[in-house]
Each structure stands twice: as C-alpha cells, then as structure tokens.
Amino acid sequence: MVPRAYTSDLRTEQAARTRERVVRAAAAELAERGYERTTLARVAERAGVSLETVKAHGPKRALLLAAFEVTFAGSEGQESLAARPEGQAVAGTTDPEDFLDGLVALVAAANERVAALWSAFTSAARSDEAVAAELAALLDRRRADLRASVDVLADHGFRLRAPRDEAAESLSYLLAPDGWTHFAAGAGWTCERYRAWLRDAVVRLVAAPPPGDADA
C-alpha cells in the first residue's frame, strides 16, 4: 500500500506543476495577444490541459496577475525583487559602484521579461474595475519598495537630489517597464545601451554618487 502522505505530496507536486504550466501559458498568450484577445481556451491549448483545468485556475484577471508576478519576480505572491535572493545579494554589495550596477541590471532584466505583460495589465485596468484595483494595489506596493530602494541608495553613500518621497517617485518613473518598451522595443536599443541610460538617469536625477566617485 502506498503511504497516504506520499500520495498527498505527489498530488500537491502535480498540482503545482499544472498551475505553473497554466500560468506560464497565460503569460505567453497575454504578452502576445493582449488582455482582450486572450481566451482561456487558447491558454488551455498552449498549456496542454483541458479548458476546465484552466477555469479552475482562473478567471482571466487572476491569471493576468499571477502571470505578471511569475514573469517579473519568478514566483507568485507579493514578494518584491528586493526580497528575493538576487535582490538581497545586490543590496548586500558594499561598493557603491557595484551596488548601482547590480540594481540597474536587476531591474533592466525584470523589465525586459515583463514589458509586454505590463502593457496588457495597464490596458486591462482601463476597462476592468477588478484589474484596476489589483493594479492600484501593485503600484502602492511598488512605491513602498522604491522608497526602501532610495534608503538603500543613501545607505551606500549616495546623496539624494530631492526629498525622499520625491526621489522615490523619480526612481519609480525611471525604473518602470514603460522605459524598456520605449527604448528597447520601440527605438531598437540593445540591453546594454538601455542599462547604461538607466544608470546615468538614476545618477543625474535621483541620487549622486559618493564624493570621489567618477560619476559624481
């Protein structure tokens, strides 16, 4: 007889794998087709599961949020990039130059992954009140995360060019996925050029490097 605990663990693992397939399929469909044109039937076909299985993980607005979280941060939930191991590794860097390079690289990579989904998210929010509420909550969490990022910049010796909240709003604008869409997807910039622009913009508009730094 198979132990019940083993059977339960196996079912949990299988359910998690199915959930991941559905969410990643939804992410691909939403990025390619946008919110309005994405259907649960297409998500099911792409994930290789039944429509009823997808509906069990829906509705579509819930899949949109899950897809955004997984694509941006690597897993579902409200954990920010800064709280993940890669974010903590950047925050733990003691050299100001290395810290800024790491911060920019982390955000640029996330923006590249999520830019198309961000467009679907903001577009859906204009016509769906529930999505709009989710977007508003996400933006509130993002502002809190960026205020914390401003504090970490200051802890690394950077001099804020404006009061904390204003600096955080400036950083929020610069680090938004829309920048990647404009420069990389729209203007054809390489990842390297986008990162260089982003780094320079943070230094010029948000926080000056410590005295003696070459960028100061």
Q: What is the pLDDT of residues 122-166, one digit of tens each?
A: 999 999 999 999 999 989 988 988 998 999 999 999 999 999 999
The answer to whether the beta carbons of residues 194 and 183 sit under 8 Å apart is: yes
| DSSP bridge pairs for 207 | 160
Q: Is the pLDDT of residue 213 over 70?
A: no
Give residue limits of the domains in the chain. 1-75, 79-215
Secondary structure element (H or E) that encloses residue 81, with its range: none
Q: What is the pLDDT of residues 47-98, one digit of tens each?
A: 999 999 999 998 999 999 999 989 988 878 777 777 788 888 888 888 999 9
Q: Is the pLDDT of residue 185 over 70?
A: yes
Mean pLDDT of the chain: 90
User: How many Å apart are CA 27 and CA 34, to the nearest integer?
Assistant: 10
Place of tokens 């079912």: 11
Q: What is the pLDDT at residue 76?
A: 80
**Percentage of residues of the chain with pLDDT beyond 70:** 94
Q: Is the pLDDT of residue 182 over 60?
A: yes
For residue 148 the two structure tokens come to 């914390």
Give 25 or 4, the one with higher predicted confidence. 25
Average pLDDT, stretch 20-29? 96
CATH 1.10.10.60, applies to 1-75 = yes
User: How many Å apart are CA 58 and CA 159, to the nearest integer?
Assistant: 46
User: How many Å apart are CA 117 and CA 121, to the nearest integer?
Assistant: 6
Answer CATH for 79-215 from 2.60.40, 1.10.357, 1.10.600, 3.30.310: 1.10.357
